Structure 1
Amino acid sequence: MRLMSLVCCGCLFLLTFSQTVASTNLQYVSLQIAGYTLSAEVADTHASRARGLMFRESLNANTGMLFVFPKSAYLSMWMKNTVIPLSVAFIDEEGIIINIADMQPNTHTAHYSTNLAKYALEMNIGWFSHRKIDAGDRVIGLELISATN
């Protein structure tokens, strides 16, 4: 009986561990904008886009999150449960930045794309402005990325 309990506990541990590992299987992409290189975690599913950067305490200097949507639309982003001040660049299908907005932590204020966008790239607040990156600049590296749902 004791052996059976140990086997069950071991199976439960392995099942839980494998689910945890699978849920942390993050995809990153290297992007370039105006000669600057960055690494972006890809949020290409409904669940990963909904979670976004919630509850994260920091971002490395040249790291962000790329939200990939199934089709172009007028996008909106907010900062619910997000404690890092962020800047978001809305990007069209061709990789051209449409507009950039600064977002304050833990707010429900919506920030919108001013035209149809397929991507939204969140970086630490000021990342774009400190590098003089603005609307009209091209993001290189988006060509092979697509949303899974």
Structure 2
Amino acid sequence: MSLIRLLPLLLLMTLTGCASSGTRHWVELSGARYQVELARDDASRARGLMFRDQMDADHGMLFLHEREELQAYWMKNTKIALDILYFDEQRRLVSQQRDVPPCSAGDRCPPYPSSGPARYVLELNAGQAEKLGLKDGTEITFGPGIADR
């Protein structure tokens, strides 16, 4: 078989391999599914959603912590307003910070703490918590591939 006849097949194999290697993670909350990026280590948790101009309505970022404890997040270099949702070890909502505004004040940006110990933190576009009518105790469901450490 000539190289010209093989090119479409090679291209298809390459694209299929790329598509299957990129794992898509999701969570469900009050019947809504969100595609999430995972922040599993200190570096990715520190970077978070900094410098992003926008985020699709059905997307978010899930921060995974090694242990359950009081958490505090801030909006340093974050350009989009967010809802910051704190979940405990059993994946129940324990605290909410809604409609948190962007902050360009660097280290002078205020913290937004949880009111109770949390292990997981979900950041969504501002307004999503209200839209879903979230109440403390609401459970979050993790899709495959979001394993506890």
TM-score, reference length from structure 2: 0.76
Matches within 5 A, 1:20-59: 28-59=24-55
Give the stretch that moved more between structures: 36-45 or 133-142.
Answer: 133-142
Give 1:58's aligned amino acid.
Answer: Q
Q: Distance in 2 between matches of 1:28 and 1:123?
A: 17
Residue pair 1:86, 1:124 contacting (<8 A) in 2 also: yes
Amino acid in structure 1 at the alignment position of 2:93: I
Q: Percent identity?
A: 29
Any stretches of 5+ residues in structure 1 without a counterpart? 1-24
2:115 & 2:23 partners in 1: Cα distance? Answer: 28
Does residue 58 of structure 2 align to residue 62 of structure 1? yes
| Counterpart AA for 2:96 | I
Other-structure match for 2:101: 104
Give 1:91 shift.
0.4
Structure 1-normalised TM-score? Answer: 0.76
Number of equivalent positions: 123
Give the counterpart letter for 1:104 in structure 2.
P
Per-residue deviation, 1:134: 2.1
Distance apart, 1:146 and its partner CA: 3.0
Once superposed, what is the RMSD of the aligned Cα atoms? Answer: 1.9
Cα gap change, 1:139 to 1:123, in 2 (>3 Å):
same
Task: Give the counterpart of 1:146 among 132, 145, 148.
Answer: 148
**C-alpha separation in 1, matches of 2:23 and 2:61:** 10
Go from structure 1 to structure 2 and tell me whether the alpha carbon gap of 1:113 and 1:142 turns closer, same or farther (over 3 Å shift).
farther
Distance 1:105 1:74 in 2: 22
Match of 2:73 among 68, 77, 81: 77
Q: Give the structure 2 partner of residue 131 of structure 1.
A: 132
Unaligned 5+ runs, structure 2:
1-20
After TM superposition, which residue ranges in structure 1, 4 or more long, deviate above 4 angstroms? 25-28
Cα displacement (A) at 1:27: 5.7
